Amino acid sequence: QLPTGLYKKVLVIMHDSILPYMNEPTLMIDFLTVAYGIGGAISLLALNGLFILIHQHNLEYPDFYKKLYNLLDPSIYHVKYRARFFHLTDLFLSSSHLPAYLVAAFIKRLSQLALTAPPEALLMVIPFICNLFRRHPACRVLVHRPNGPEDMSEDPYIMEEEEPSESRALQSCLWEIQSLQNHYHPDVAKAAAVLNHSLSEMEDDISGLLELSGYELFDKEVKKKAIDVPLEFEQVRGLFGKKNDIFAEHFTLD
Amino acid sequence: SNPFEVKVNRQKFDILGRKTKNDVGLPGVSRSKAIKKRTQTLLKEYKEREKANVFKDKRFGEYNTKLSPEEKMIRRFTLERQQNYGKKNIYNLNEEEELTHYGQSLAEIEKLNDIVDSDSDTEERGALSAELTAAHFGGGGGLLRKKVSSGQQEEEEEKPKSRKELIEEMIAKSKQEKQERQSRRESALELTEKLDNDWKEIQTLLARKPPKSERKDKEVEKPKPDEYDMIVRELGFEMKAKPSERMKTEEELAKEEQARLQKLEADRLRRMRGIDEEASKKKPSHVSADDLADGFILDKDDRRLLSYKDGKLNIENEDQEENDDDEEEEESGAKEGDESEEESEEESGNENEEEDAADSHSDLESDLESEEEAAGNKEQNKHTTNEKESENVEKLDPEMEAAKSELPYTFTVPESYETFKSLLAGRTVEQQLIILERIQKCNHPSLAVGNKAKLEKLFGFLLEYVGELATLDLPELRTIDKLVLPLYNLCQMFPEAASDSMKFILREAAHDMAEVIEVKGHTTFPGLDTLIYLKITSLLFPTSDFWHPVVTPAFMYMSQLLTKCRITTLQDVIKGLFICCLFLEYISLSRRFVPELINFLLGVLHISLPKKQAQGYTVVHPFTPVGKNLELLLVCNKKDLESWQKQNLPLSIVTGLKETGQTEINHIRLSCLALCYDLIKKCAALYESLPSFHEIMHPVRVLLTQHVPVNEYPEKMQEWYHSALKELENKVKHYTPLICEKKKPVPLKQYTPKIVKVLEFGRTQGGSKKEQESKQLIRKHRRELKGAIREIRKDNQFLARMQLSEILERDAARKRKVKELLGSLATQEGEWKAMKRKKGKN
């Protein structure tokens, strides 16, 4: 009913400026459910208000996790509200009573979407996934399947499936994280390599990583002191003079 | 000492070479020592434990260590005198003070002296000398001495000397004699030296001037042996012929070069894998390490082979470090190459054609590569032109040559960027290069102390200059292309400074971008200069390292560019594609995964499609499924589609798109699209080894197969399209289940003895130096603690003993007193009784 911009503004301040001052916060249920159903960034934002209603006002929300699962799409790693969203998702998935198939589906989906994520999001989501593994040891088959079939021609996981229980996530493996071990950012590669080993008991604290920005990462890298600087040993012949230079094929210096 | 007081610690086994400290003990002695010490310290304290009085030593300067004892005495004496002065001396008019020496009154000493003198001879007999004897007994020397002695005797008789005077006299004499002897010896030495020198001078004269005939009579037999001797000696001193390194054959040189490159490559691979060796092992080894190395080195091999075909040993060119040393030699070598100088000039234009260069005169080509040498060559060239003005200069433009000859030969390193710019302003590219070379040569760090810092600055200036060239309306990319060489050389010389200035530039750029984003919420692509900087980074530094101080920030920056910058114009697309190319080049060896790259390419494809709802794939920021930048690359005009030819995109359109026709723009669009297809193909080739290759490429594949209007494309574009699609499709889907690395089992604690090899007896084995030190400290502490406890215990015992003895003493005294009292009382009683008895009797 509201224009998108206004919708967003209202939802952003919902949890700390509106709900605490209402006599009957439950009146917001309809508004929030509608907002949650819209999809995209608005759904992400509505999550926060809903959480308060569920948590403090006994709201019973059917298929909550299914909807949350369907909220996950490539844009979650790129939107502004990434930190808020992952903070809440972390809360929702912190219960140890969740079924393994559900958590596995979340893990699988998050990691598959991570294939399009920028490094700052990756640095946050990989410890996030590690934490899920720690909370739900039953999901560890995703990274450790010693008696599985030798070769598979397909990933058993079905990305398009909307129902987490039907997604066959528990029969899959986290090849995505394995791919990320080849990421160009050294920290991401290291973080992804953690899953190669058995995890430590302690959960990682991801609250500091939620707000990470690309510029901060850049700054951190630039400020690192290097002991010595390795140099290219191939002799330069000009701007595009390298062997098999891609630029020479497609650009000219004019 | 008393054998009954010695306690011998018997050794169970005698071990050779072991020194024992405690084989014999003297318990009695040590005990008595300890007791004595305790009585002096502990007992004293104990006795004074309840006393508040303190004994103060007020003697002047008693505890002042700075004063020497003599001074102390003097001061005390004066103090004493001052104290006594006022009181006594008022009435003491006449009393003279008695002068003393060492506490004896001088007067008495004088009196005593005579007595001493009388029997001095008997005392001094042990140290008799001739003079002494002469002095006393007239001596046994010659007449002269006798005279003297007699004179002395007379003197002695006349004026009896005291013994002291005599001895002093004697000492003085002997000293004098000694001095004289020394001076005599010195003068003799000087004289001989002088003689030697004179002789040498004369000798040279003799050897040269007098003709043989004259010399013959003097030294007939001398000259011949002299000559012979000379030869012999020369032979002796001459360098013995040693077996030197033999000349290496070309194969060996090639092998060496290959080994060097192999080592460098191995180094690079190690860095690429990063610190975590195990992690890299776990990675699906895309290509076995051997494979990659082989392929790479083979490539290199080709190049090197080309460069030494012409039979010269110019393989050395590639060691830049040695270049400076070799310069001189190679300059001379370059003379031969002069005739073909012109060719090098020509070839500098089309460097890319390696074959050509190799076929003709690859040494010149490689000369161009290593810039210092080129400098050598050119200077050589210069000399010849200046000296001869001859045919060596044929092809060069005469005007240019004139301008060239105006260039000074030495340059100082410019202190600021402005002076640097003015130095290069108005010069042609070649001249600029020459200037830069000369600056480098004249200010080589080995020549003066400050040169290093200066040249380091030069790198920064050069970078700045390149940036400026790139931001011009008509970017002088050809110049930049040439300027990369000096940049590379400077970077090889000063890696730290180069990396610092590069990092500085990147940081500035990233900082600007972050600021713009903060203010506006979005940003645009940076200018061409930043792109060029990123390109230069890939030329100067190895981009395959796991972590690199410059390259990793560059990666981050490029990632930001691809995700944060808005795409509104065709130029933005080209810039984005340029960065994609950069990414691909950066990761071409390491095959690292760059999600942003795929996202961007997908987005570019997306904007080439006609507007409709995207299905099966999602585009992410900066592209949106619906938005302004849609259809940016869409070309509908049939004619343009048909007339399109794949062309290389000129970089200059990045800075300003000239007002061109719609057709032109459409062609550029199509070229971009073709480039995008090619990049997708290359990505697919690079990433095929990733386990989730299909998931990564899934959106692209969906877009290519379901949405792209292939049939509308011109034939060429269809080729691009199909080759890209083929690369995507013909990969086998292959998934192997993941297995964690096994945890290293923690060994159980066991009680079997630990067996250690003992290398040296009596010394603790193993552990680092630090560990051993800490162990030693612990041991020392324990020993000290034990000793301290024992001492305290003994102190307590001693005190208890003292207290007991005190009590006993006190008791004994009381007993005695009681006895006395009782005794006295008894006597009283007795007396009293006796009195009573007496009374009773009475």
Read off the pLDDT of residues B350-393 as tens digits, 9 standing for 90 and up. Answer: 444 444 434 444 444 444 444 444 444 444 444 444 444 444 43
Q: Could you tell me if A232 lies within 8 Å of chain B, comparing CB atoms?
A: yes
Integer-rounded Cα Rg, in Å, for chain A is 22
Among candidates A144, A182, A250 on the partner chain, residue whose Cβ is nearest the Cβ of B740 = A144
Q: Identify any residues that bridge with B735 across adjacent strands, giving them in sequence order.
A: A152
Other CB atoms closer than 10 Å to residue B477's CB: what's the count?
23
Q: Would the pLDDT of B162 be above 50?
A: yes
The answer to whether residue A15 is domain-embedded is no
Residue-range definition of the domain harbouring residue B418 = 408-493
Q: Are residues B450 and B569 in the same domain?
A: no
Better-predicted residue by pLDDT, A125 or B767: A125
Q: What is the rounded distance in angstroms from the CA atom of residue B540 to the CA atom of residue B459?
A: 12
Q: Are residues B607 and B703 in the same domain?
A: yes
Residue of B nearest to A154 (CA): B733
Other CB atoms closer than 10 Å to residue B368's CB: what's the count?
23
pLDDT in tens, A142-156: 888 877 777 777 788
Mean pLDDT for chain A? Answer: 83
Which of A19-23, B20-24, B30-34, B229-233 has the highest average model confidence (pLDDT)?
Answer: B30-34
Angle, alpha carbons B815-B820-B824 (nearest 5°): 150
Which of A5-9, A208-212, B252-256, B818-822 has the highest average model confidence (pLDDT)?
Answer: B818-822
SS3 B567: coil
Give DSSP secondary structure letters for B417-437: HHHHHHHHTT--HHHHHHHHH
Q: Are residues B537 and B677 in the same domain?
A: yes
Q: Identify any residues that bridge with B105 across adjacent strands, giving them in sequence order.
A: B100
Treating both helix axes as pointing N-terminal to C-terminal, what angle do B362-369 and B371-388 enclose, rounded to 10 degrees? 110
* Chain A partners within 8 Å of B650 (Cβ): 251-254
pLDDT in tens, B146-155: 444 444 444 4
Among candidates A173, A180, A224 on the partner chain, residue whose Cβ is nearest the Cβ of B593 = A180
pLDDT number for residue B363: 41
pLDDT in tens, B747-758: 787 787 877 777
Instruction: Give the up-direction half-sphere exposure of residue B812: CA atoms within 13 A in the CB hemisphere.
Output: 6
pLDDT in tens, B459-504: 888 888 888 888 887 778 888 888 888 888 888 888 888 888 999 9
Closest CA of chain B from A42, distance in Å: 17
Among candidates A144, A239, A241 on the partner chain, residue whose Cβ is nearest the Cβ of B739 = A144
The answer to whether residue A84 is domain-embedded is yes
The answer to whether residue A106 is domain-embedded is yes
Q: Are residues B525 and B486 in the same domain?
A: no
Complex ipTM > 0.85? yes
Q: What average pLDDT does the segment A78-93 reach?
A: 86
The answer to whether residue A29 is domain-embedded is no
Asked if residue B622 has a cis previous peptide bond (ω within 30° of 0), the answer is yes
Residue B407 has what DSSP assignment?
A: S
Would you call B481 and A239 a contact, using CB atoms and an 8 Å cutoff?
yes
Report the length, in residues, of chain B: 842
Residue of A nearest to B557 (CA): A218
The answer to whether residue B365 is domain-embedded is no
Mean pLDDT for chain B? Answer: 74
Q: What is the rounded distance in angstroms from the CA atom of residue B318 to the CA atom of residue B316?
A: 5
Whether A213 contacts A150, CB under 8 Å:
no
> Among B210, B227, B228, B226, which Cα is nearest to B218's?
B210
pLDDT number for residue B349: 41
Rounded to whole angstroms, the maximal C-alpha distance in chain B is: 181
pLDDT number for residue B466: 86
Number of structural domains (chain B) is 2
SS3 B159: coil
Would you call B595 and A75 a contact, using CB atoms and an 8 Å cutoff?
no
Q: Are residues B583 and B525 in the same domain?
A: yes
Residues in contact with B530: Cβ distance below 8 Å, sequence separation at least 6, in sequence order: B509
Other CB atoms closer than 10 Å to residue B117's CB: what's the count?
16
Q: What average pLDDT does the segment B794-801 reach?
A: 94
pLDDT number for residue B242: 64
Q: What is the rounded distance in angstroms from the CA atom of residue A219 to the CA atom of residue A209?
A: 15
Q: Which helix (H) or strand (E) holds B235?
A: helix B223-237
For residue B346, what are its two tokens? 């020509």
Q: Are residues B468 and B610 in the same domain?
A: no
Better-predicted residue by pLDDT, B177 or A211: B177
Q: Could you tell me if A173 lies within 8 Å of chain B, comparing CB atoms?
A: yes
The answer to whether residue B429 is domain-embedded is yes
Q: Would the pLDDT of B766 be above 80?
A: no
* Chain B partners within 8 Å of A193 (Cβ): 276, 279, 282
Would you call B692 and A179 a contact, using CB atoms and an 8 Å cutoff?
yes
The answer to whether residue A13 is domain-embedded is no
Q: Would the pLDDT of B835 be above 50?
A: yes
Whether A233 contacts B540, CB under 8 Å:
no
Give DSSP secondary structure letters for A168-184: -GGG---HHHHHHTTBS
Number of structural domains (chain A) is 1
The answer to whether residue A131 is domain-embedded is yes
pLDDT in tens, B174-192: 999 999 999 999 999 999 9
Q: Which helix (H) or strand (E) holds A38?
A: helix A29-38
- In our burial notation (b when 16+ CB lie closer than 10 A, e otherwise), range B511-549 reads eebbebbeeeeebbbbbbbbbbbbbbbbbbbbbbbbbbb
Better-predicted residue by pLDDT, A254 or A117: A117
Q: Which helix (H) or strand (E) holds B24?
A: strand B24-25
Q: Would the pLDDT of B433 be above 50?
A: yes
Q: How confident is the model at residue B312 (pLDDT cuts 50, 70, 90)?
A: very low
Query: Are β-strands B24-25 and B7-8 bridged in parallel, bridged antiparallel, or unpaired?
Result: antiparallel
Q: Would the pLDDT of B121 be above 50?
A: no
Q: Which of B703, B730, B757 is the last residue of a domain?
A: B730
pLDDT number for residue B352: 42
Q: How confident is the model at residue A159 (pLDDT cuts 50, 70, 90)?
A: confident
Q: Would the pLDDT of B215 be above 70?
A: no
The answer to whether residue B747 is domain-embedded is no
| Stretch among B130-139, B644-653, B726-735 having the lowest mean pLDDT | B130-139
Q: Would the pLDDT of A66 be above 50?
A: yes
Backbone phi, psi, residue B114, to 5°: -60, -40
The answer to whether residue A31 is domain-embedded is no
The answer to whether residue A88 is domain-embedded is yes
Would you call B542 and A231 a contact, using CB atoms and an 8 Å cutoff?
yes
Q: How confident is the model at residue B133 (pLDDT cuts 50, 70, 90)?
A: low
| Stretch among A195-209, B130-144, B324-338, B605-619 having the lowest mean pLDDT | B324-338
Q: Are residues B647 and B718 in the same domain?
A: yes
Burial of B146 (0-12, 13-18, 19+ CB in 10 A): middle
Angle, alpha carbons A7-A213-B686 (nearest 5°): 110
| Stretch among A54-58, A128-132, B109-113, B251-255 having the lowest mean pLDDT | B109-113
| Stretch among A189-193, A213-217, B585-589, B624-628 having the lowest mean pLDDT | B624-628
Q: What average pLDDT does the segment A118-144 reach?
A: 88
pLDDT number for residue B345: 42
Q: Which of B475, B493, B511 is the last residue of a domain?
A: B493
> Among B377, B402, B374, B376, which Cα is nearest to B389's?
B402
pLDDT number for residue B119: 45
Q: Would the pLDDT of B808 be above 90?
A: yes
Give DSSP secondary structure letters for B769-805: HHHHHHHHHHHHHHHHHHHHHHHHHHHHHHHHHHHHH
* Chain A partners within 8 Å of B546 (Cβ): 186, 189
Q: How confident is the model at residue B256 (pLDDT cuts 50, 70, 90)?
A: confident
Closest CA of chain B from A81, distance in Å: 14
The answer to whether residue B382 is domain-embedded is no
Residue-range definition of the domain harbouring residue A67 = 63-251
pLDDT number for residue B113: 55
Q: How confident is the model at residue B824 (pLDDT cuts 50, 70, 90)?
A: very high
Q: Would the pLDDT of B330 be above 50?
A: no
Q: Are residues B652 and B702 in the same domain?
A: yes
Q: Which amino acid is at B286?
A: H
Burial of B476 (0-12, 13-18, 19+ CB in 10 A): middle
Q: What is the rounded distance in angstroms from the CA atom of residue B438 to the CA atom of residue B412?
A: 9
Q: Are residues B479 and B556 in the same domain?
A: no
Q: Are residues B558 and B657 in the same domain?
A: yes
Q: Which of B442, B474, B493 is the last residue of a domain?
A: B493
Better-predicted residue by pLDDT, B331 or A219: A219
Query: Are β-strands A251-252 and B649-650 bridged in parallel, bridged antiparallel, or unpaired?
Result: parallel
Q: What is the rounded distance in angstroms from the CA atom of residue B521 to the CA atom of residue B162?
A: 114
pLDDT number for residue B283: 38
For residue B731, what are its two tokens? 């990969």
Q: What is the rounded distance in angstroms from the CA atom of residue A14 to the CA atom of residue A7?
A: 10
pLDDT in tens, B388-432: 444 443 444 454 555 555 677 777 778 888 888 888 877 888 888
